[in-house]
Structure 1
Amino acid sequence: MTNTLTVIDQGTILAFTFDDALRYHGPLAPGGVAHAYKVIERVLEVLGTDGPVERRELVVTTSHGGPGVRDTFELVTRSVTEGRYTVDPALARPERGTTLANYVFQIDYRGKSITLIIRDAGFVVDEFIALVGKAEKSAADLGRLEVLKLEMTERVMAAPADQIYDVVPSAVA
């Protein structure tokens, strides 16, 4: 289904599975966990060409404020507790529409900076974004939202990371 995310921490190789990330986060936002997992998988492919990256040197900036995203980055990189994780709404791409605008991630590592942007390929659906943003949710809305979360999680985890997120080189960090 997916590769294990492998990083180095002070000389020790650590490997994380998607199930590890789900257990760490809990059941609230499995889709956010899936997206962050695939972003990290893609980052490790791009920045780890010489082997596993040092987890504590990854700096994360994203316009996505979801808890599943945050917790997955924390598990793998420790960036939240160490102050290397920032939610910056200015990174959003509103010209891409409400559904895709916040699925933007900038990762800095050892003088390199890359930006990952979700492809417009149906990984996130309009109905999901509309329900998440709905102020007052009925019981039916909440039930539908749970279904949409699981469907999105399955779509994202079934695809290779390079088919979900495009990498755009950024200015040097």
Structure 2
Amino acid sequence: MNQTLAAAALRVALFEPRIPPNTGNVARTCAAFRTPLSLIEPLGFSLDDRQLKRAGLDYWPHVDVTVHRNFDQLNLQLPEQRRLIGCSRYGGLSLQEFQFEEGDVLLFGREDTGLPDPIRSRCDAIVTIPMPGSANAEGQGGVRSLNLSVACALVLYTAGVRLSLW
């Protein structure tokens, strides 16, 4: 049985995260901003992983975390009044220009491959963090992407400020 997730001003969702410390750090950020966290399987680790717990420190009891067996299950459980905002290093609207709305779900892709095209196509919008020191189209001459937990913190904080949540 699928039950609907509680409505939230913002929600963070990680699509198939692979690296335990990244997910632990995202969980800590979600705890700090009282933002629910959805993890979409398959995960690249066990939720009992020592590195995951260490990165989240003793904040895990303060995180509203839900695990979904796949992207479709997440979609079925989200409240109807929401937008799915994909966060990607390319092809999106600039973070500083994007207009967030209460109820937005901030979706981040895998650390190694990002959001796959079939998932991107199901997003209501794609947001990109501008990076003046970014690499060229061939991945040379600069930074290819930000760390997942850093990108999540930047987008979540920016969205919350724009919505006057904090």
TM-score by length of 1: 0.29
Instruction: Write 1 or 2 for the structure with the bigger share of helix.
Output: 1
